Amino acid sequence: MTDVRVTHIGGPTALIEAGGWRLLTDPTFDPPGRRYSFGWGTSSRKTAGPALAAADLPPVDAVLLTHDHHGDNLDTAGRALLPAAGTVITTPSGARRLGGNARGLAPWSTTRLQAPGRTTIDVTATPARHGPPLSRPLTGEVTGFALHWTGQRHGVLWISGDTVLHNGVRSVAERLKVGTALLHLGGVRFPLTGPVRYSMTAAQAVELCRLLTPRTILPVHYEGWHHFRENRAAIERHLASAPTEVRDRFRWLPLGTAADISV
């Protein structure tokens, strides 16, 4: 199995179909308009709904949940999907909160998805930090995921999670060969904390991808919420001056339409 299908549903939410598995990242299916609190005086309004309704999804085998405590990564409708998924893979603290079918992974630990007639997929948690140094007590625990299976030609499929660029993320380039990078961008910030960012900017993504050298870069988490401060147009403006070997590897997925990705 060398190819996967990825459907970007909106925000951080994507359906990954690989080796007979359907994996859903960060389920967000609420309609637009609602304001969500993120704690410590921060909040944001959802400005766009999902490209696919939750009812239109095929059965989901596993949810890859980078964190459970922010509504732009797990909203009310997304949370309602979790019991029907075979497995929810998330942070250790998230698994304790969710219970049930949730598995918690500490950074660089691995769990396995296996079933008769399907490709076995190893899911490894990768470091993520949802803000500046020392912000974890405020922003909470977050994780990325690296997906590995036999037959990948270009390297693992890596999901960054909501993170800024820091040494933990740089270590992904040192420890893994990344073929496809699903990057959470958006340059998140809030009026209360001024210029402080809580997810990667385009500039950080370019710097990181120069280290990772992935074959394909798939941006997500850049539109659909008021606190996402770098939309596609802003990212593309920055990419215009980026090195060709990075710029040409960005692939914008059409919302709601499955795209085949060579892995």
Tokens of 169: 């993320």
What pLDDT, on a 0 to 100 scale, did the predictor assign at position 192?
83
Residue 35 burial by Cβ neighbours in a 10 Å radius (0-12, 13-18, 19+): exposed
Interaxial angle between packed helices 232-239 and 202-212, expressed in degrees from 0 to 180 and rounded to the nearest 10: 50
Distance CA 115, CA 241 (A): 45
Place of tokens 């029907």: 84
Distances in Å between the Cα of 247 and the Cα atoms of 119, 156, 203, 215, 262 are 32, 20, 12, 11, 18
pLDDT digits (tens, 9 = 90+) for 243-252: 999 999 999 9
Distance CA 98, CA 104 (A): 10
Whether 1 shows a pLDDT value over 80: the answer reads: no
Distances in Å between the Cα of 143 and the Cα atoms of 197, 249, 251 are 17, 24, 23
Whether 148 shows a pLDDT value over 50: the answer reads: yes
Q: Mean per-residue pLDDT for 17-25?
A: 97
Asked if 9 and 15 touch (Cβ cutoff 8 Å), the reply is yes
Q: Mean per-residue pLDDT for 179-204?
A: 94
Distances in Å between the Cα of 202 and the Cα atoms of 7, 184, 190 are 22, 10, 17
What pLDDT, on a 0 to 100 scale, did the predictor assign at position 2?
55
Helix (H) or strand (E) holding 98: helix 92-98
Domains and CATH numbers, the chain: 3-254 (3.60.15.10)
Q: Mean per-residue pLDDT for 123-131?
A: 97
* Residue 21 pLDDT level (bands cut at 50, 70, 90): very high
Residue 33 burial by Cβ neighbours in a 10 Å radius (0-12, 13-18, 19+): exposed
What pLDDT, on a 0 to 100 scale, did the predictor assign at position 40?
76
Residue 231 burial by Cβ neighbours in a 10 Å radius (0-12, 13-18, 19+): middle
What pLDDT, on a 0 to 100 scale, did the predictor assign at position 3?
84
Which pTM value belongs to this model?
Answer: 0.96
Q: Which residues pair with 35 in a beta bridge?
A: 45
Place of tokens 């950074």: 107
pLDDT digits (tens, 9 = 90+) for 202-237: 999 999 999 999 999 999 999 999 999 999 999 999
DSSP sequence for 207-252: HHHHHH--SEEEEESSSSBTT----HHHHHHHHTTS-HHHHTTB-P
23 half-sphere exposure, CB direction, 13 A CA radius: 28
Distance CA 97, CA 29 (A): 20
